[in-house]
Amino acid sequence: MKRFMNVGQPPFPSGNYYFDVSATDQTTGASSPVGGNDFASFLFAWIGSSSESTNFTKDLFVAEASPYYAAFIQDTYHITPSFTVTAGLRWDIFGGKTERHNRLEYFDPAAQGTTAGVAYTGGEVFSNSSHRSPFRH
């Protein structure tokens, strides 16, 4: 069985909030604040700005597919006329998730690359038409 899901996910379902240092800086209302901490402003629930008008305007609809296979066996054993044992075994395989338009990414610990002359191992890999899932087929 292969499940196909077209799921719409708005980028900010509850709004986009920005907490700045204005609630906790030493010179309240100054053009250039001194000190302050944006996390402390968050704890005070002092929102610097918000953008709820773009809340549902850029929905991301992904066309995901997830292969799923299962097998189940069951049997009943009559050990004595008054004692019966019913046992079963289930085996499930959940395949890797793919997306029809190659808009997924995943972390590949074997990815090789260089940035500013420094070599690294491991990084984000975007899916493409020849490699749509981190799971090998």
* Range of the structural domain that residue 105 is part of: 101-131
pLDDT of residue 1: 60
- Per the domain annotation, does 74 fall within a domain? no
- Per the domain annotation, does 117 fall within a domain? yes
- Per the domain annotation, does 79 fall within a domain? no
pLDDT of residue 56: 46
DSSP-H helix ranges across 3-75: 38-43
- Per the domain annotation, does 115 fall within a domain? yes
| Dihedral sign of CA atoms 128, 132, 134, 137 in order | negative
- Per the domain annotation, does 64 fall within a domain? no
DSSP category for residue 30: -
- Per the domain annotation, does 113 fall within a domain? yes
Q: pTM of whole model > 0.75?
A: no
Contact 90, 71 (CB under 8 A): yes
At 39-54, the pLDDT tens digits run 888 887 777 665 555 4
At 58-78, the pLDDT tens digits run 566 777 777 888 899 999 999
Count of positions (residues) in the chain: 137
- Per the domain annotation, does 32 fall within a domain? no
- Per the domain annotation, does 123 fall within a domain? yes
* Number of structural domains found in the chain: 1
Reported confidence tier of residue 90, pLDDT bands at 50, 70, 90: very high
